[in-house]
Amino acid sequence: MNCERCHHTDEAHLLNQNSSSIIKAGKCQIPICTCQSYVDSMQAIDEELL
């Protein structure tokens, strides 16, 4: 899945147990990216829950 804020994949984000994301992703690791927390796509969450 891609972050709704920066559009990088969840693998590009650091693991953060305190994150509100369902996959517990935090700050983006891409050097030029300023995204501080992963934002889940509502559509992706809905599909996972089905």
Domain contains 2: no
If one counts the domains in the chain, the total is 1
CA distance 46 to 34: 27
pTM higher than the cut 0.85: no
Cβ atoms 14, 26 nearer than 8 A: yes
Position 5 in a domain: no
What is the overall mean pLDDT for the chain?
84
Q: Print the domain residue range for 39.
A: 10-49
Distance, C-alpha 47 to centroid of its chain: 16
Q: Is the dihedral of CA 12, 13, 14, 17 positive or negative?
A: negative
**Confidence label for 1 from pLDDT (cuts 50, 70 and 90):** confident
Residue 4: both structure tokens together: 């709704």
